[in-house]
Amino acid sequence: MSNNVAEFKQRNDELAEQVAATMKAEGLSQAAAAQLIGVHKTRFNQWLKGSYRGDNSQVESAANRWLESRRQNESLNASLPAAPEWVETPSARAVISALGFAQMAATISVIYGGAGVGKTEAVGQYCQQSPNVWVATATPATSAPGPILTRIAQVLGIRATGAVHMVETNIIERLRDSKGLLVIDEAQHLNPRALDQIRQIAEGAGIGLALVGNEIVYTQLTGGNRSIGFAQLFSRVAKRVRLSRPKAGDIDALLDAWAISDMASRTLGHDIGKRPGALRGLSQTLRLASLFASGQPSVTHIRAAWKDLGGDV
C-alpha cells in the first residue's frame, strides 16, 4: 500500500497543467488527447485528476513525448514560409466554371484528371464563394449505395442511420429547393449502382451534381463495356473538364504567386510542375526552397529542395 501511495504522490503537477492547457487551447477532449498521447483514456483521466495510483512515470513519459513532438512541429511550421492560400490558375478557373454551371443549371459536370493538378483546391475555393455547396469524399469503403448515402447524410448534418431508402428520402428532402450543388470528390471509388444512386438523388432534389476524380471516373462512363446504367448517367452529363496535366499557365501562375522571376528558376519550376505530383509537388518544393533560402529562393535552392523531397533532378 505504501508503494502505491509513494507512486501516487510522484505525479508531475506542472506537466499535468501543461497537458490540460494544451488540450483546452486545441479543443481536445480527454479521449482524443489520450489517443494522441498513447495511453488508455481511463488512466489518462485519473492522471489528469491526480488520482492515478499506478506508475505515473509511464503516463508522463508519453505525455512529454507528445508535448515535445508538438513543439518541434510548431517550430518547423513557424520556420516554413506560408504557401499562397489560393492561386487562380487557368485549370482552376475551368473547374470553377464547371461547378458553377452544374449548380446554376441543376445538371451534371464531370471533372477528372491526374493527381496534383488542383481539382480539390478549386472545389474548396468554389465552396467558399458559393452558398449551398456540399462536398462528400468517396473512399473504397463507401463504394456502394448505402455507405455513400451515409457519407452524404453526415456532410449534410442529418440522420445517417436507418434503412437505406429512408436515408435517401431524408437526403432528398434536405436538398430539395436549395438550388445547391452536391460534389462527390474521389468519385472513381464509386461502383455503378452508387453512381446511379447519386444521380437519382440529384434529380429528385433538383440540384446540380459534380463528379470529381481521376481518369477512371470518365473512363467507366464512356468505356466500351459501359452498362445501361452508366449510359443513362453519361447522357445527363452536361459539362466535362479534363485536367490530365498542368497547363503552362497553371505553372506560371504558381511561380508568380511565389514571386519567382528569374528565368532559370522558372524553367526548373516548369520542369518540376510537369512531373508526377504536378502543381502539388511544385508548391511543396517552392515552400521548402524558401526555407532553405530564408527568403526568396534561387534556382540552386529550388533544385536542392526538389532533391531533398526525393525528386529526380
Q: DSSP letters of 115-152?
A: TTSSHHHHHHHHHHHSSSEEEEE--GGG-SHHHHHHHH
How many C-beta atoms lie closer than 10 Å to residue 142's C-beta?
Answer: 21
Whole-number Å distance between alpha carbons of 212 and 184: 6
Task: Please say if the pLDDT value at position 9 is more than 60.
Answer: no
Q: Within the chain, what is the greatest distance between any pair of CA atoms?
A: 78
What's the predicted TM-score (pTM) here? 0.71
CB 92 within 8 A of CB 118: yes
Structural Rg of the chain based on CA atoms: 25
- Tell me the three cell numbers of residue 293: 533560402
Task: Please say if the pLDDT value at position 6 is more than 60.
Answer: no
Length of the chain counted residue by residue: 313
Q: What is the pLDDT of residue 194?
A: 92
CB 204 within 8 A of CB 182: no
Q: What is the pLDDT of residue 102?
A: 96
Task: Please say if the pLDDT value at position 106 is more than 60.
Answer: yes
Helix (H) or strand (E) holding 2: helix 2-8
Q: What is the DSSP letter of 244?
A: S
Whole-number Å distance between alpha carbons of 273 and 251: 6
Mean pLDDT along residues 247-251: 91
Task: Please say if the pLDDT value at position 3 is more than 70.
Answer: no
pLDDT band of residue 280 (cuts 50, 70, 90) is confident
Residues 6+ apart with CB under 8 A from 280: 115, 116, 118
Tell me the per-residue pLDDT of 169-181, one tens digit each, with 9 for 90 and over. Answer: 999 999 999 999 9
- Tell me the three cell numbers of residue 292: 532553405
Buried b (16+ CB within 10 A) or exposed e, 226-238: beeebeebbeebe
Q: What is the pLDDT of residue 238?
A: 86
More confident residue, 36 or 231: 36
Q: What is the pLDDT of residue 253?
A: 92
**What is the set of domains in the chain, with CATH numbers?**
2-79 (1.10.260), 90-243 (3.40.50.300), 248-308 (no CATH)
pLDDT band of residue 77 (cuts 50, 70, 90) is low
Whole-number Å distance between alpha carbons of 71 and 69: 5
CB 120 within 8 A of CB 279: no
Q: What is the pLDDT of residue 229?
A: 55
Task: Please say if the pLDDT value at position 144 is more than 80.
Answer: yes
Task: Please say if the pLDDT value at position 81 is more than 80.
Answer: no
